[in-house]
Structures are given as C-alpha cells and as structure tokens.
Amino acid sequence: MKRLFLCLLVVLLPAALVAQVTHVNLSQNAEFASISETTSSLSSFSLSVGRNVTKTSSSANINFSSFTFASDFSSLTFVNIIGAIPPADFTGQTTSNLALNFSTADLDPTSSISQTCVLDLITFTFTCGAGPTGTISLTFAANNAQRTQVLALEEVVTVGNLTTRTHSRSDNGTATAQGTVFGTTVMGGSALVGVSRNRSICSAIAPDTCP
C-alpha cells in the first residue's frame, strides 16, 4: 500500500517549490547508524545518520523520513529531513556504541532540506510546507546478530517530490536502538550500525534532479 501511495505522490506534485534549497549532496566514509520502525498502525519512520572524516575535518549528516495516515485515512502526511548536522550531534568512536542527539535547529537552511507534505486522499490535492521542529535522541548498540558486507549498492528512493540517490559500500551489523524521535518513544526497530566506504548521497526536490 505504501508503494502505491508513493507513486501517487510523485504524479500529483505541484510545480511550485516548497523549500529554499532543492539540491543536497552528502558524503559518508566512517561510522553510521540507521533504523526503520513502525511506531503505530498509522505511522512509520526511517532514519540514517553518518559521518565523513578527512585529514583536516569531520562532518556528519542525517536523512530522515516519516509517514502518517490520518485516523480516517483521509490524508497522508510525510516528512523529509536531509542535510549536514554538527559533528557533535553524532557521537561514539566505534560501532559498539553510537548516539544521535539532534535538534532541527541544528540544520543549516542553506545546505539542508526539511519539509512536511500532506496528500489529501479525498481530493488528491497536495501541499508542502516547512518541516517539523523538535529533537531526535537515539542510542545504538551493536549486537551483530547478523553482519553484512555491501560491496556495491545503488539505490534511488522517491518520497513525494524528493528523490534520493545513494551509492555506497559498507560493512554493517544489526543493532538495538532506543530513545525518542520527535517525542515518540523508540524501542528496538530494525537498526543497523557500521562503517561506510565512500558513500555518496544526493537528494533533490523536483523538478531539480540528481545526476
């Protein structure tokens, strides 16, 4: 069902842009953590956070999306947040224990995308506005119940008017996660921790595109 609604969202987008920034390019080459979880019968989210380290600097970035149906299924609301964040927001020196303490106030509006969009499932009108405000606080602990080596991955995901293209190699393993996401308690979920190998991420709001 989610796949069907995502297709509808792409078709029904208006031409007007809803964000000042329409194109973001990010890189990761060190520790990362991710989680996907269904928080209720009507809501789910996915999140990935990682860092990029060079000889002279360290940076971090976040990619978050969520979906929420109205209780009467009259509308679908989704949130997209992607961009650079302060390195201090994502801590931990090894994948054994990583922590994310993020506030939407940490986003640089000149190098990030943050939007909330609503699809009216009765009239099929589509509107977008500013993203949510609040915090995400999560801890990740590796359990390595399953370990995976990704040799080459190219992935294109479209959520509404936002398309994200990812090229990556990584070593990762399963993990447990707990904390809060915009006030909602998270316990478990499908979490991973690992090390990215030259991961590149491009996100673009239509009609802008990723190469």
- 164: three-class secondary structure by DSSP: strand
Other C-beta atoms lying within 10 Å of the C-beta of residue 104 = 18
In a domain, 211, yes or no: no
What token pair was written down for 153?
């991955």
Other C-beta atoms lying within 10 Å of the C-beta of residue 210 = 16
The DSSP symbol for 56 reads: S
Structural domain tally of the chain? 1
In a domain, 192, yes or no: yes
More confident residue, 131 or 206: 131
Q: What is the rounded radius of gyration, in angstroms, for the C-alpha atoms of the chain?
A: 17
Q: Give the pLDDT confidence of 135-194 residue by residue, as tens digits.
A: 999 999 998 888 887 887 888 888 878 888 888 888 889 999 999 999 999 977 689 999
**For position 88, what pLDDT does the model report?**
95
Other C-beta atoms lying within 10 Å of the C-beta of residue 187 = 9
In a domain, 174, yes or no: yes
Q: Which of 83, 45, 32 is nearest to 62 (CA)?
A: 83
**For position 7, what pLDDT does the model report?**
42
Q: Are 65 and 48 in contact (CB under 8 A)?
A: no
Taken as a whole, the chain contains a residue count of 211
In a domain, 16, yes or no: yes
In a domain, 107, yes or no: yes
Domain that holds residue 176: 2-205
Q: How sure is the predictor about 20, in pLDDT bands with cuts at 50, 70 and 90?
A: low
**For position 193, what pLDDT does the model report?**
94
In a domain, 210, yes or no: no
* Position 25 pLDDT exceeds 80: yes
Q: Give the pLDDT confidence of 74-128 residue by residue, as tens digits.
A: 999 999 999 999 999 999 988 889 999 999 999 988 889 999 999 999 998 888 9
**For position 154, what pLDDT does the model report?**
86
Q: Which of 164, 147, 143, 146 is nearest to 155 (CA)?
A: 164
In a domain, 171, yes or no: yes
In a domain, 157, yes or no: yes
